[in-house]
Structure 1
């Protein structure tokens, strides 16, 4: 027999859990993390590469970052694609990109500098590989 869904746990029962609501662009964590994930979320951000590099610096030395990432959403200011250059730069910085699953992975926290400067975003860029509305990110 199936009963009603279980009630969510009382936060007092989870002393190591803390809910933080903040903009990823300017949030400064108080500690490092063993795992940072972003499931189908980067395509809603303007400065995707900025968020990725910031998250890399928040990892512990043995931590892992894993996020869905669509490099086709990264463009140059003239509208041309920058996907190949972005993936090459991410790989050179230590990331692994699994194209078939659109998965970007980094093991081990570090400062990451990519050779791109954020130029702006297009919130009406259209659907991404999931078919969901996405933001186009533009970089010099």
Structure 2
């Protein structure tokens, strides 16, 4: 019986290691942010003026970051429109409070997603490396905060 227990643990351990390796490869881009997230002392918050200062100071990554911020605004508007419209239709036809709340949440998610797609095509984000711009901003912010 002890043999069965150890073999099942080794099977589970092997399965878990394979699982971690599989998803680790697919989310390896998160390693770009790990040096900013996994810090002993977190970076302080930044303001819009700090972001604008970076955009003005970096001619390569600044415009990309500005475009990414515009895309977030478009996505937020899509989320608001989706939430309000679906909740309004649900309330009009069902007068169900819990159904309206659920449709508000679902409409926000669907509207945000649709807004992201609109922004992606409208602003042609597929041509830009927005992750590199965000990482450069985080490096710039870290250097500015730490006084380097």
Q: Give TM-score scaled by structure 2 length.
A: 0.25
Give the structure with the higher percent strand: 1
Greater Rg, structure 1 or structure 2?
A: 2
